Amino acid sequence: MAMTDVLSAEDIKKAVGAFSAAESFNYKKFFEMVGLKKKSPEDVKKVFHILDKDQSGFIEEEELKFVLKGFTPDGRDLSDKETKALLAAGDKDGDGKIGAD
């Protein structure tokens, strides 16, 4: 499954482009711009599974670094600071990874 099976290619391009500068990534704005906030829980889980590259059932810190590339190959890598902020926001139980729920 491709990201464009769930989200609009145009929305993805705009959202990734909006955060192309280093240290500019804002996960709340990005997920809103890409259209995830309007998606059903099932669609959000589909996106999660696309981003879970090793199919472990979790998105670990190393996978988060490349989250923008998960939406489009043209995306940049997140900085360590951006990656840690995204992990902290999604890691509800403090185990160092983000689960599908």
| Residue 93 annotated in ligand binding | yes
| Residue 77 annotated in ligand binding | no
User: Would you state the pLDDT for residue 47?
Assistant: 96
| Residue 52 annotated in ligand binding | yes
| Residue 101 annotated in ligand binding | no
User: The tokens 């889980």 sit on which residue?
Assistant: 45
Q: What does the alpha-carbon distance between residue 80 and residue 86 come to, in Å, rounded to a whole number? A: 10
Q: What does the alpha-carbon distance between residue 49 and residue 22 come to, in Å, rounded to a whole number? A: 26
pLDDT one-digit tens code per residue, 31-76: 999 999 999 999 999 999 999 999 999 999 999 999 999 999 999 9
Assess whether pLDDT exceeds 90 at residue 101.
no
| Residue 5 annotated in ligand binding | no
% of the chain beyond a pLDDT of 90 = 96
| Residue 97 annotated in ligand binding | yes
pLDDT one-digit tens code per residue, 32-43: 999 999 999 999
User: Would you state the pLDDT for residue 89?
Assistant: 94
Q: How far is CA 73 from the centre of its chain?
A: 13
What is the SS3 assignment for 47?
helix
Average pLDDT, the chain: 95
| Residue 91 annotated in ligand binding | yes
- What is the DSSP secondary structure assignment for residue 94, as one 8-state letter? S
User: Would you state the pLDDT for residue 100?
Assistant: 87
Domains of the chain, with CATH numbers? 6-91 (1.10.238.10)
